[in-house]
Structure 1
Amino acid sequence: MKLRYSALYIAMAAVLASGAVHATGQEADAAPKNAPDASKVKTLASVQVTATKRETPLQKTPVAISAISGDTLDKERVMTVQDITRLVPGLQGTSEGDHGVVTLTLRGIGNDSAKTEYADPEVATFVDGVYSPRAEAAASLLLDMDGVEVLRGPQGTLWGRNSTAGAISFTTMKPDINGGFYGNGTIEAGNYNQSGVRAAVNLPISSTFAMRVAAVHEQHDGYVDYQNPVGQIPTVAQQQANYLASGGDPASFQPIDTNLFVQKGKKYDAQDQSAYRVSARWKPSDSFVWDLSYEDFKDRGTPNMNLMQQPRPGQKFWSALIDTAPYLDRTSRSVRSRMDWTINDDMELSYIAGYTRYSGKGDFDQDGGVNVPTSFTTNGSYQEDRTNFSNYVSSSHEFDLKSTGQNTLDWILGAYYEHENNNIRFDIPIMNGTQQGTVGWQGSFIQPEERVTSTAAFGQATWHMNDTWRLTGGVRWSHDKRENRGGINWGWGYDPAFPQQPISPGEQPGDVGFNISQHNDATYSKSKPTWLVRLDHDMGSNGLVYASVSTGYKSGGTQDGGALYKPETLTNYEIGAKFSFLGGHMTWNSAAYYEVFKNYQLSAPVTYPDGTHGLGFSNVGGETKVAGFESELAYQQSNDRANLVLSVIPKKKLGTEKYAASNDYYVPTACPPESTISNNCMDISGNDLPHAPDLSLTAIYEHDFVLSNGGRLTPRVSAQYQSAQWLSWFNFGAGDKQKAYTRGDLSLRYTEPNEKWYVNAYVQNVSDGKVKSSAAGSTLLANGTVAFTSQYLPPRTYGVQVGFWF
């Protein structure tokens, strides 16, 4: 292990998370200070959730929720937000290489470009009730988690901002005042030089105060090897002939410098991440409790590479011809606070506050070595996407006043305020052929201040009409203001007085041949109500049915050039049912939904009429419609646990009246005359939404074999099937689609009789399948075909974990 991470190992190894039962059919609750005991099985029907901002039984909560325990997160090796997707119906995660971020799609609704200071997600993420604008920073490696709840469908009334399609709520483990000193940990090693260590320890300080410290470090080598340019680029004589044939000056010829191609150092798709969290709980009386935590997350890995879907002959699939070395440096620091006061027997007040500073910089090979240069300035393209700096500072405050106890009317009132102050500089040098070539285009996007302010007031009430019928209504008023202050897009001026070379991070664009192409100053300000109406009914003691209509909202905003784009709204019609069987040892929860989306926001890198580049936003006209069905079946007995997670989305059509463009794709059709961009365009009206397979099914099963010595041997099988899905709204042929696939994971765990330690061996992606998570096709080859690239889920990985409790 690297010395700089030694401070993380103060508690020795990692969490085998103790926590609530996985609602999609997983393990029993474990006492916080002991290993999970499979002989003490609690029923699935006893799972508690907080989706309605009060603790209620999952099976009696009329909301489509997937609740995942910390123990399940451990056994499924869920290390990031993206890993949760296989456990939740309709949830998809994609990766974006140049910014190294994760974007989420739920029920077919998401935003692949929610990765800059401009864009917001449609699936909101919360940690201990605090909104996290950046999904890749949320819950930092899912360290020491009590559980995760994924709320599907609009959650705008109670959860608010950017929860148009749903919300993900992470709950961390809290200090245990009365539990004494205890802890747990794991140490892990695997292929690709993978290693990991996690640890958590509970520290009782007094009868009213306790602390908890948790730490993690995870690392592995990159999956993407470097290709050798020798044997791929032409000979010097051929290079010279190609250069002269292009009209080059013979006196200016120079051979390609092969040293410009990266051959060593960190590879793309490498992990090097660490985090720690210090939590405190103070409970001076039965009527007041204060939870406070500080969390620090560092990512020193590398971005994921865009790989050629069809590698060149003689080259390995997991390899690329790289001329920009990978670099990633991200840090997130968060403070989260929650105070709960019991005012009297009928009322409780909560104050939830948070502060996060997320900063990062990175370097990415955007061209991916798709076109091999034929000379130093012909055929190939050098494109470096470089984040010189990006800083996102957010703070939020929420007050909730709610009823408690048994009432004819349960109610909650709340007020919310959130503020972000974001800035970024992003450079894109594009050279013809190689770094030695002439400038194709260069841009520098400098946004010194992007302010986002969101305020809201909300209320929701449930009327218990009788013992079995309940009617719920809620409304939220939101006001969003976005201000772009001083933003400038710089473009290469093609002034012969300046040398044609890639801009360096320390250079100011105006000093090295760039002109101002756009001023981005603008202000967006708008209010919008969202609401919910729901009726639910108990069908005996073991069944619940409900029907609801709810709305979601994501604000509009500013974009490059100072133009504004419209807010998007979603209306969701849903019916659902939840049933328990076999004395609570089996549950079956299902929901059918129909969603109408208006002004769906698209965003993509585009080229404007004057030749400059920028990130363009637009709204799809008409109504984008999605219809689907999702179901979760869970079974749990003392030695057997199984679950099925099903999502069916047969309808997911974009609206009408929209031509779309993107520099990530080669589109052969010219844009209509009224277009404000100069890219070629494509009519995407009626196309399928991306990341929305018709069918997705996950199956998990494990069984405990109790050995003669009292120990347990537990094999576990997890498999996921997904039908074919588009990877962009262009629906641009086979290169823009992930075909149907099945992906499986296996593990075998031995737990010793006294439950002090365990050993677990695992294999993930057993078949070593190549599964695309994104696609791009912007490179036109000499033969007239388009070369598509994609980012992929990891190849086959395997390893061994050793875990313990003390």
Structure 2
Amino acid sequence: MNTRYRALSSAIFAVLAMGTAYAEDAPATAPATAADAAPAASQKSQDQKSQALDTVQVTATKRSTSLQKTPVAVSALSADTLQKERINNVADITKLVPGFAATTEGDHGVITLTLRGIGNDSAKTEYADPEVALFVDGVYTPRAEAAAGLLLDLESVEVLRGPQGTLWGRNSTVGAVNFQTAKPELGPFYGYAQFEAGDYSHLGMRAAVNVPVSDTFAFRVAIAQEQHDGYVDFQNPIGQLPSVASQQAAYITSGGTLATFKPIDPNLYVTKGQKYNSQDQSAARISTLWTPSDKLTWNLSFEYFRDRGTPNANLMQQPRAGQDFWSALVDTAPQLDRNSYALRSRVDYAINDGMELSYIAGFSKFNGSSDYDQDGGVQVPTSFASGANFQDDRTNDSRYKSSSHELDLKSTGDNTIDWILGLYYASEDNSIRFDIPIFNGTSQGTVGWQGSFIQPKETVDSYAGFGQMTWHLSDSLRLTGGARWTHDEKENDGGRNYGWAYDATVPQVPISTGTQPGPTSGFAVSAKNDGKYSSSKPTWLLRADMDLSSNALLYGSVSTGYKSGGLQDGGVPYKGESILNYEAGIKLTFLDHHLTWNTAVYHEDFKNFQLSAPITFVDGSHGLGFSNVEGTTKVTGIESELAAVLSDADRLNVVVSVIPQKKLGTLIYAGSNDYGGLPACAPASGIGNCLNVSGNDLAHAPDTSFSVIYEHKFSLSNGGALTPRFSGHYETASWLSPFNLGNGDQQGSYFRGDLMMRYTPADEKWWAGVYVNNFTDVKVRTNAGRTALGNNQFIYTSQYLAPRTFGMNFGVSF
């Protein structure tokens, strides 16, 4: 047995030993007489009941089960937690879940997710699929843009860690996030409204109302609006641009002539208007519930999301002298214009007392555009055509349509064998046009390179059948086996990449949204992307779980996951990736459910792990390239969650993740245009510049991270309560890319904390509070890139989490 497996085995046995030693509560001291015992025990029971943790129900096994009795590594976040932590999108959740990380990708304005060290920063286009799957009420949402949407009127969030390929299906290679929306209820009429205001002109509003119409029908309406000004100020080019004489000299030195010289126009730079890193998002949902009989339930919802904010800017890690950190020299105004629509349906029919049929369907439509200053203004031009780059990454138009259908038949009630069978089909029909003009100096300079990527029709069809069975061998021991077969088909029909042809007879101007690329506009086809991809893959699960006592659940599993391959630029296919996951865990409940402690130890072996990045090919053309990491990418870790009611007034939550091993397999030719100055690649690679990343650490996988949430309730004489709340997150250093290039490509260890204070009156019908987010005002990088200056000198840029913000909020229920 090698060192890694000895270490993993030792960790597992340590966890088991702790569970066996501490799961049983110590016996209480016997009372003096039996007569004294009864009232004392009764009072103690009532006191403990009032203090105990709420019983959390989860749907990780596609059944409603208690979190502490579910043999899966799953984090469950209640609506109360989401509200108190001011959770707006998926990225805000990461601090509450062990091993979970989110990165922002500015040029597409999306959020990409990493779990247990596995993720893909470039899984942000119409090509790539995520490793962490997102579901809303069990309906899969395939595109990365969904992660940037507002979380609206949720009942709970469940984050399932580890491969979920058997029951949850598509692209849940390392985990899945399932958002459970608040459903209509029969009977009561009620609702709530929340308001918020803060610095950066922040305004927020959320409201929902439940309306019963009859004994069998109810509906619920929810709305939300979140907005704030951008965090990034515009730098004034005046004072930074060189003198006209210096510009002229630099232009002539670069090969220009006096006849063609012109001074830099400072009006090319953006100095007013909507700033980068702003928010302007709205969402609305109407949900209905119909129960025409005791056997039939139908939940139907329609949701709309609108985004008119701006992407996150690329900021210089070390700003120029005299410039603020939260500022940029901008020559492309930020823009986002997005709309998405989703229809979700779930029908449950009880066939008899022991069997239920469910049909879950979803339809979604997304359209949007964006504009982004990719160069980040890191260099001040020496002339209108030298000394800097102008790069505008622009999504002219993106349109994504998807649908999914799932039919489940499962056992209900108490059985020796619990089982579920299912059929699944999902489809996508996507199109996009993405333009990238890159100019020397300024947008009025000469063409460095520019291209247009037009994909009129990219389709996905995914078919699956699955089943899972749990055999109750005894009251305390269970065995579970599951399997899924998936078949994926992908096709690119008519996709073309156009690159600048350097035709001297064509004026050198940035391509506009109305330009049709072709010979008359100076472009030539650099790649034909037509192609088809087809693949099938079985995945499976074997698990045993045992009740060590009424307060301790032990489980161990071996499972596999799969993410399909696809097509990259040029119509070239890349392979699907697969994972083999070994896991053991224990869930402990102490002190009459006043404390829970859940721990999991895991080891993951990845085959054909997918990495993607924008690259330059040996012929000078640009495109999005995918690489499969050869050999085995290995990840080993331990994660733990503790929740405790320390007293009537004190609550504590602790989340810990340790990932000592997270090594890539073999990838000799890894390229990325986001990292200038990579060495020249061997011609056989097909890539212009690349680096050998074999054996490097995975990105966004710190050795250790932990979060602590603590609140104390001060009871006031008027019956109200004042509750301060502390939420802190600490991480050791982590890489921001698989290149592992040094300090600029790394987020150092950091602590980031939030403070909240809430007043609640005696009747608890309203509340008011104040908050400070990121009170440490730490600058946390979520990605990195670099510009090469020559002589092995580089300027590193990153996108960052928000700076310190503060505000007040108010809520009322009725």
| TM-score greater than 0.5 by the shorter chain | yes
Structure 1 pair 782–529 and aligned structure 2 pair: CA distance change class (3 A): closer
Helix, strand or coil at the partner of 2:697:
coil
CA distance in 2, matches of 1:398, 1:408: 26
- The answer to whether the 8 A contact 2:443-2:509 is kept is yes
2:274 is the alignment partner of 1:266: yes
Which one-letter code corresponds to 2:287 in the other structure?
Answer: S
Aligned to 1:403: 411
The alignment covers a number of residue pairs equal to: 766
Which one-letter code corresponds to 1:81 in the other structure?
Answer: V
- The answer to whether the 8 A contact 1:659-1:685 is kept is no
CA distance in 2, matches of 1:705, 1:623: 53
Q: CA offsets, 1:271-318, max 9 Å, x none?
A: 000000000000111111000000000000000001000000000000
2:555 is the alignment partner of 1:566: no
CA distance in 1, matches of 2:770, 2:279: 20
- The answer to whether the 8 A contact 2:223-2:283 is kept is yes
Aligned to 1:413: 421
- The answer to whether the 8 A contact 1:45-1:585 is kept is no
1:186 counterpart (185, 189, 194): 194
CA distance in 2, matches of 1:42, 1:334: 40
Q: CA offsets, 1:150-196, max 9 Å, x none?
A: 000000000000000100000000001112x2110111100000001
Percentage of identical aligned residues: 65
Q: CA offsets, 1:579-629, max 9 Å, x none?
A: 000101110000000000000111000011211100000101110000000
Aligned to 2:690: 681
Which one-letter code corresponds to 1:607 in the other structure?
Answer: T
Aligned to 1:3: none
- The answer to whether the 8 A contact 2:123-2:144 is kept is no
2:563 is the alignment partner of 1:554: yes
* Superposition pairs of residues 475-490 of structure 1, within 5 angstroms: 475-490=483-498
Deviation at 1:506, TM superposition (A): 0.7
Aligned to 1:20: none
Deviation at 1:517, TM superposition (A): 0.6
Q: CA offsets, 1:214-234, max 9 Å, x none?
A: 000000000000001111110
Which one-letter code corresponds to 1:774 in the other structure?
Answer: N
Give the TM-score taking structure 2 as reference length.
0.93
CA distance in 1, matches of 2:684, 2:70: 50
Deviation at 1:672, TM superposition (A): 2.4
Aligned to 1:293: 301
Larger radius of gyration between Structure 1 and Structure 2: 2
2:542 is the alignment partner of 1:533: yes
2:391 is the alignment partner of 1:383: yes
Listed as ranges, the gaps of 5+ residues in structure 2 are: 1-46
Helix, strand or coil at the partner of 1:674:
helix
- The answer to whether the 8 A contact 1:387-1:424 is kept is yes
Which one-letter code corresponds to 1:653 in the other structure?
Answer: K
- The answer to whether the 8 A contact 2:710-2:726 is kept is yes
Which one-letter code corresponds to 1:46 in the other structure?
Answer: T
Which one-letter code corresponds to 1:669 in the other structure?
Answer: P
- The answer to whether the 8 A contact 1:184-1:803 is kept is yes
Structure 1 pair 109–466 and aligned structure 2 pair: CA distance change class (3 A): same
Deviation at 1:42, TM superposition (A): 7.2
Structure 1 pair 365–40 and aligned structure 2 pair: CA distance change class (3 A): farther
CA distance in 2, matches of 1:731, 1:539: 44
Aligned to 2:79: 70
* Superposition pairs of residues 465-544 of structure 1, within 5 angstroms: 465-510=473-518, 511-544=520-553
Aligned to 1:212: 220
Deviation at 1:44, TM superposition (A): 3.3
Helix, strand or coil at the partner of 2:150:
helix
1:643 counterpart (635, 653, 656): 653
Ranges of 4+ aligned residues in structure 1 off by more than 3 Å: 38-45
Which one-letter code corresponds to 2:153 in the other structure?
Answer: D
CA distance in 2, matches of 1:392, 1:207: 39
Deviation at 1:95, TM superposition (A): 0.3
* Superposition pairs of residues 38-57 of structure 1, within 5 angstroms: 41=50, 43-44=52-53, 46-57=55-66
- The answer to whether the 8 A contact 1:624-1:654 is kept is yes
Aligned to 2:725: 716
CA distance in 1, matches of 2:653, 2:236: 47
* Superposition pairs of residues 773-788 of structure 1, within 5 angstroms: 773-777=782-786, 779-781=787-789, 784-788=792-796
Deviation at 1:639, TM superposition (A): 2.2
CA distance in 2, matches of 1:638, 1:417: 49
Helix, strand or coil at the partner of 1:596:
strand
Give the TM-score taking structure 1 as reference length.
0.94
- The answer to whether the 8 A contact 2:637-2:659 is kept is yes
Listed as ranges, the gaps of 5+ residues in structure 1 are: 1-37
Aligned to 1:666: 676
Helix, strand or coil at the partner of 1:601:
strand
Q: CA offsets, 1:91-110, max 9 Å, x none?
A: 00000000000000000000
Which one-letter code corresponds to 2:229 in the other structure?
Answer: D
Deviation at 1:541, TM superposition (A): 0.4
CA distance in 2, matches of 1:340, 1:139: 30
Aligned to 1:795: 803
Aligned to 1:83: 92
Structure 1 pair 261–39 and aligned structure 2 pair: CA distance change class (3 A): farther
CA distance in 2, matches of 1:801, 1:305: 28
1:433 counterpart (436, 441, 448): 441
Deviation at 1:246, TM superposition (A): 1.3
Helix, strand or coil at the partner of 1:584:
coil
Helix, strand or coil at the partner of 2:146:
coil
Helix, strand or coil at the partner of 1:269:
coil
1:331 counterpart (336, 339, 343): 339
Which one-letter code corresponds to 2:552 in the other structure?
Answer: G
2:362 counterpart (329, 354, 359): 354
Aligned to 2:636: 627
CA distance in 1, matches of 2:149, 2:496: 32
Deviation at 1:40, TM superposition (A): 7.8
Which has the higher mean CA deviation after the structures are superposed, 243-252 or 342-351? 243-252
- The answer to whether the 8 A contact 1:45-1:57 is kept is no
Deviation at 1:782, TM superposition (A): 5.7
- The answer to whether the 8 A contact 2:51-2:648 is kept is no
Aligned to 1:758: 767
Structure 1 pair 223–753 and aligned structure 2 pair: CA distance change class (3 A): same
Helix, strand or coil at the partner of 1:683:
coil
Deviation at 1:67, TM superposition (A): 0.2
Deviation at 1:260, TM superposition (A): 0.6
Helix, strand or coil at the partner of 2:281:
strand
Which one-letter code corresponds to 2:630 in the other structure?
Answer: G
Deviation at 1:783, TM superposition (A): 6.1
